[in-house]
Structure 1
Amino acid sequence: MKFLNQHVNPPRLLIFILFCFILLGTFLLKLPIATTHSISWIDALFTAASATTVTGLAVIDTGSSFTLFGEIVILFLIQVGGLGIMSFAVLFFILLGKKISFKERMLIQLALNQTTLGGVIRLVLHLFLFSLIVEGIAVILLAINWVPEFGWWNGIYVSIFHSVSAFNNAGFSIFTNNLMGYVSDPAVNLIISSLFIIGGIGFTVLLDIFQKRQWRNVSLHSKVMIVGTVLFNLFAVLLIFSLEYNNPNTLGNLSASGKILGAFFQGVSPRTAGFNSIDIGSMETSSILFMILLMFIGAGSGSTGGGIKLTTFFVIVLAVISFIKGRDDITVFRRTIDKAIIFRSLAIAMISTFIIFIALFLLNLTERDTPFLHLLFEVVSAFGTVGLSMGVTGSLTSLGKLIIIFVMFIGNIGPLTLAFSLTKNKIIKIKYKLPKEDLLTG
């Protein structure tokens, strides 16, 4: 694992490694044994990028276009992308008995979005063990539901595929209509949604809760993530339920329990996973706009989801509330948030908005026949590595697919990692201050 030296920029190396895995996946998916029919290089690249960045957008149907080998390649890319390429590298070299240097730990810290170097190797091992346990339990529970329907081996395979895809927030399904056929199935809805909610919260939060046990001892990040996830999910479910209740193309024709399950699943899915149990393209415009907001906010830091992250959004909201109240400090759960975190949150939000705007602008040039709202939904879904679509992914031009691939890539590595890869990533401390002067705003 001696691929780092003192002159290497860790963010650049992380981007390079991710890019290499996407290329590897592209070549594997282009092999004749990977597909049931010939696919283009751009479609192979798109599928590999979508799987590695755990997005879930698909230009071709996964279940009918890929053979068992191709689906296993996609599953491997999802697992690697969800848990982190560096996590797999750590596990591999630990098994070989190799020592991991300080600079290599720095790269792992960046990949896992941790604030300190301490315990990152132990965190990786716990992450793998936790993932295997959760995915294994989910496979057993899903198999109980799917083995009677598909048979013994096919039922187990379908359970494994969707368990890995859901826990890693990928949204890939080998069913042609995703999970729309199970909109009223409580077992599938609850198991799949539990997987991507757990994956979206982040392993560090779950480990923190497990170790601290008591709420008052849990870190501020964990408290914000837990409370924020519960509040957002409750509000999203209630809003989707009310907006789609009478829509005959989504929830309108379902039973009372089906409407509740459909609203629940589609309410908790947009911030993290790309699964859908109702037709996204048939949803009300108000629901689509709300889902775009959820996809932009995304999951938690250090999780398998994307977006600007829930904690980033909460910091910005708290900053606005503090400004309105005329307070200089931002406090939450009896803790003060450092101003550096506020600046970082604003930087993440602004860079993300800029990336989405540029991508949307370019897509409006390349996809002139596609409605604006459809393109906006597609871009934000790609940036949030969500994978939901209003049905335009497969009809994108080659240039449009490349734009979406780039957005998925940025959404996975994060806007700040991209920014730091272009700089020396050093904090410049100024020893003097220039005179202050007012600037008219607002």
Structure 2
Amino acid sequence: MRRSKAFLPFWLPIWMFAGVILAGSVVLSLEVSLQGQDIAWVDALFTATSAVCVTGLTAVDTGGQFSRFGHCAILLLIQLGGLGIMTYTSLAVYLLGRRVSLTDRIAVGQSLMHDPSFHLGRFLLRVVLGTLAVEFTGALLLHLADPEGFPAFAALFHAVSAFCNAGFSLFPDNLMAWRGHWGVNLVIMLLITLGGLGFYVLNELGFLARKVATLGRKGLRRRSHLLTWHTRLVLETSLLLSLGGGLFLFGAEMLGGEGHGTWSETLLACMFQSVTCRTAGFNTLDPAHMTNISLVCMLMLMFIGGSPGSCAGGVKTTTFRAWVGFIRAQITGRSQTRVGWYALSPASLNRALTLVIFATLLVSAGAVLLTVTEGGTEPFYAAQGLFLENLFEVISAFGTVGLSLGLTPRLTTGGKLVIIALMFVGRLGPIWFLSALQSWQTDVNYRVPENDLPLG
């Protein structure tokens, strides 16, 4: 009985991603994947996990350690991880929008196949073709922006890495050499943003664009709502976090930073960092040389992450809006949690609060474990700044961001295993793992007496 439960729908993506990671680590350990220097198995496992979970944290130099074959293997792992996540999560969000029951959403029940307005095959085909079209267009734009810096393969590698929010780079200093290059920065930022919105939103925006081309702006004015509630929330929250985060980082760096060029270069770099904190992992500034207040802002952006149905990680923008709405309702004394046009259902609010709680517990546990493995026995005066360094690494791994204060290459074997676990759980989501564990449980057919407990 327990063996059959291991193959329930909630567990299939877990086994699939674990299998791809193990296979990828074997391939990256082969001599053909390396430029001559051997790689430890835990580093190969770390790199494969980071690629499949589209994180971007690297224990070794990607450009210098691996051969062209190894780079192609990493690129394939990124595409499998990003595209696999997008297909499953986009489908789940699409079905959520259609208000199908939980059983049908997970099993993709036969009732969907009888819905004339929805075709599973065509939908997933649009995901694949849309992803490839955006990536190849991004690669072309990168190559045109800097043909010498981004030859054909490098342009394709970074375009795929950006759209899948992976953050892998073939350059040892990531994208710091292009800090003031507006063309490269804008292309990478656009790819990151598109990959972080989710295909459900991109599909709706594409449909709206076709309507505009067909009916014109006058024809659309007759419609009360051009975009669905979900899409408006995602676009509004993403814009708010990206612009607000960029301006906050710009102010913090201008007031107390080391100086990152002219004010226009600093503004561009800070906007880039704000966008990439949404789980992409590229950087044009060295986070270790940014102010502490900037790092705190980046921690919050990494924890929130991107949007549902995308390549991004984190607790997601919609969860953030639900959490803010819940706090507002508690302060104002309202019985309903309103987010935009609607009030959240009790089930949605419960999922949002549960996700934030479990994510906080997971990050806290990861920070404790990493502190134990990475110099936790050192006295405080000798390890100042170590906890922030560890916490930054943990949230970056959980949010599948890929930014680091320089700790990743210095991690012990135990620390690398902790980060591997965080990347894996963060990629699939703590709620997914909780639901998988709950699918093993037997329903309880009784209730115990309830009572009030003094709190606060």
- Report TM bin, short chain: 0.7 to 0.9
> How far has the Cα of 1:237 moved from its partner?
0.8
Specify the alignment match of 2:9 in structure 1: 10
Matched, 1:160 2:156: yes
Question: What does residue 352 of structure 1 align with?
Answer: 359
Q: How does 1:387-402 map to 2 (within 5 A)?
A: 387-402=402-417
Contact 2:229 2:341 in 1 (8 A): no
The answer for the alignment partner of 1:99 in structure 2 is: none
Return the letter of the residue paired with 2:199.
F
Candidates 234, 241, 259, aligned match of 1:232? 241
Q: Specify every segment of 5 or more residues in structure 2 that has no aligned partner in the other structure, as ranges.
A: 89-102, 110-116, 212-219
Question: 1:427–1:230: structure 2 CA closer, same or farther, 3 Å change rule?
Answer: farther
Contact 1:105 1:120 in 2 (8 A): no
Q: 1:272 Cα deviation (Å)?
A: 2.2
CA deviation after TM superposition for structure 1 residue 51, in Å:
0.2
Does 2:414 align with 1:407? Answer: no
1:177 aligns with 2:191: no
Q: How much does 1:168 deviate? A: 0.2
Q: What is the number of residues matched between the two proteins?
A: 412
Please tell me whether the aligned partners of residues 143 and 159 of structure 1 are also in contact (alpha carbons under 8 angstroms). yes
Gap change, CA 1:407 and 1:139, over 3 Å in 2: same
| Identity score, percent | 38
CA distance in structure 1 between the partners assigned to 2:190 and 2:404 by the alignment:
21
Rounded to whole Å, the distance in 1 between the matches of 2:427 and 2:239 is 24
> Which position in structure 2 is the counterpart of 1:375?
390
Q: 1:308 to 1:57 in 2, by over 3 A?
A: same
Counterparts of 2:201 and 2:326, CA distance in 1: 23
Rounded Cα–Cα distance in structure 2 between residues aligned with 1:372 and 1:204: 38
TM-score, with structure 1 as normaliser: 0.87
Cα pair 1:28 1:34 within 8 Å, conserved: yes
Matches within 5 A, 1:106-121: 106=106, 119-121=119-121
Question: Which of 391, 401, 404 is matched with 1:386 structurally?
Answer: 401
Normalised by the length of structure 2, the TM-score is 0.85
* 215-224 vs 179-188, which moves further: 215-224
- CA distance in 2 between counterparts of 1:244 and 1:82 reads 32
Q: Give the Cα–Cα distance (whole angstroms) in 2 for the partners of residues 223 and 361 of structure 1.
A: 38
1:316 CA displacement: 1.2
Rounded Cα–Cα distance in structure 2 between residues aligned with 1:331 and 1:266: 31
Among residues 291, 310, 333, which one is paired with 2:298 in the alignment?
Answer: 291
Matched ranges for 1:14-413 at <5 A: 14-36=13-35, 37-84=37-84, 87=87, 106=106, 119-147=119-147, 149-150=148-149, 155-212=151-208, 216-247=225-256, 249=258, 252-368=259-375, 371-413=386-428
Deviation at 1:121, TM superposition (A): 3.2
Contact 1:299 1:309 (C-alpha < 8 Å) held by counterparts = yes
Q: Which amino acid aligns with 1:194?
A: L
| Partners of 1:354 and 1:227 in 2: CA distance | 28
By how many angstroms is 1:207 displaced? 1.0
Of stretches 205-214 and 163-172 in structure 1, the one that deviates more from structure 2 is: 205-214
Contact between 2:59 and 2:408, CA under 8 Å: does it hold in 1? yes
Q: 2:202, 2:293 → 1: CA distance?
A: 33
1:87 and 1:108 in contact (8 A); partners too: no
Moved more, 17-26 or 322-331: 322-331
Partner SS state of residue 303, structure 1: coil
Distance 1:41 1:246, change over 3 A: same
C-alpha displacement of 1:39: 0.6
Structure 1 unaligned residues grouped into runs of 5+: 89-102, 110-116
Equivalent AA in structure 2 for residue 166 of structure 1: A
